[in-house]
Amino acid sequence: MNKTNYYEFLQISPNAEQETIARVYRFLANRYHPDHPTMADPEKFMLLTKAYDVLSNPETRLRYDETLLGPTGGEDQLSTSVDFMDSMDGELNRRLAVLGLLYFQRRTNASNPAISLALMEDKMGFPREYLDFTIWYLQKKGYITRADNSDFTLTVDGVDFVEEKRGSMPVLQRLLTSEAGPDAPPRGPIITPQPGTSSNGSNSKQELKPPAEAA
């Protein structure tokens, strides 16, 4: 059956909550609206409206999931198992995912440790506009660098942060031990945080701070 995957089109997880679906819909509706001066796309706008009509209604969404996605559903993207859209936890997860991807790339491919923005966007499974703040923050912290060709690389400070914090941040530890690198084969869920808590039940809102200086 050749049907458009609405989750893929919206670039969200099949497990996304209604609030997330509505937020992404508003973002893309503004982009594809026929009145947009540069990015107007009437066909995509119509498809977006249809997708939202289906996914915003719990009953039609359930039927859609059963017919299109089957019992497992989802794609090989981090967004199928990570909530990147929540305001606070989602931003923290975006930072950890970027650091995890770059760390894995540097460890496994020392001669080519960079990852393109396009690959990062594809692996994480949502529009690059959602990475703007994340990338700005990590660059200002000195954890990542951006080359002239827009490829990203993890710095020494970034490596130190990942290796120091992986034991105290269950999300980061689980991402790294899953071997979810840029070329990783399909696997089960990589990160499954509960809203407001880490995997051990403690509060998960942790700040990304520079590693402590050696005494």
pLDDT at 88: 62
> Coil, helix or strand for 130?
helix
pLDDT at 204: 40
pLDDT at 160: 94
Q: 59, 46, 47, 78: which is closest to 18 by C-alpha?
A: 59
Where do you find CATH 1.10.10.10 in the chain?
A: 83-177
Residue 95, both tokens? 């930072």
Give the CATH number of domain 83-177; options: 3.40.640.10, 3.30.2030.30, 1.10.10.10, 3.40.50.720: 1.10.10.10
Where do you find CATH 1.10.287.110 in the chain?
A: 6-69
pLDDT at 200: 38
d(CA 32, CA 43): 9
Phi/psi zone of residue 201: left (φ > 0), alpha (ψ -120 to 50 degrees), beta? left
CA distances from 179 to 42, 53, 55, 197 (A): 40, 37, 32, 23
Supply the pTM of this predicted model: 0.50
d(CA 45, CA 85): 21
What CATH superfamily classification does 6-69 receive? DnaJ domain (1.10.287.110)
Q: What is the mean pLDDT of each run of 10 residues along the chain (215 residues)?
A: 75 82 91 90 94 92 78 48 56 85 87 86 71 91 90 94 84 65 41 36 44 43
